[in-house]
Amino acid sequence: MSEAKGPWPHTVTYQTRWLDNDQYGHLNNSSYYLIADSIINAYLVNACGIQPFIQPSSPSSTTSTSATSAASEKDVSSIVGLVISNSCRYYASCSFPTPLKVGLRVVKLGKSSVTYQVSISEEGKEVAALITSTHVFVDRHSRKPVAMPGRLREPLSKISVESEQSRSKL
């Protein structure tokens, strides 16, 4: 469980729902992934300016006209993040009606990809689940990887922490 220790720079409270429980009275495995997906995407929308609800039209209509964007940098509205990897390690169970403490951090920030970790625990208890998820940012139309623009990279770097693996290699 050492991989779940360390700082969690972005945290929220999540109120469990009756439908989150499975037949055994604890959160269904899919609920953990739903919670992780929600905190990651809320952060991308609210802090990074990602606009998931823009419907693709012609590629020319998403060209940035912003004077503040670098000429070689894509506008955040022209890219989307695609999940390429998801995994979860379970350490304990949670259940309705207990509110959860959910933490988000970035453990790897690449040129076009980011790996997040999400911790889920009942308030005041040890981490119950640790989700690791990786997004690759791609052009909304071509679906080819693109370099993350500063508008996206800067907020992600604010929640970036050195991973346990990186520390153990030193």
Q: Give the model confidence (pLDDT) of 37-76 as tens digits.
A: 999 999 999 999 888 776 655 554 444 444 444 445 678 8
E-assigned strand segments in 70-149: 79-90, 99-109, 113-122, 129-139
Regarding the domain with residue range 2-52+73-163, which homologous superfamily does it belong to in the CATH classification?
Hotdog Thioesterase (3.10.129.10)
Q: Which residues of the chain have pLDDT under 70?
A: 1, 54-73, 163-170
Q: Which residues lie across from 116 on neighbouring strands?
A: 106, 133
Domain extents for the chain? 2-52+73-163
Report the pLDDT value the prediction gives residue 72, as an integer from 0 to 100: 57
Report the pLDDT value the prediction gives residue 56, as an integer from 0 to 100: 56
Residue 13 has which token pair? 């409270």
Report the pLDDT value the prediction gives residue 76, as an integer from 0 to 100: 83
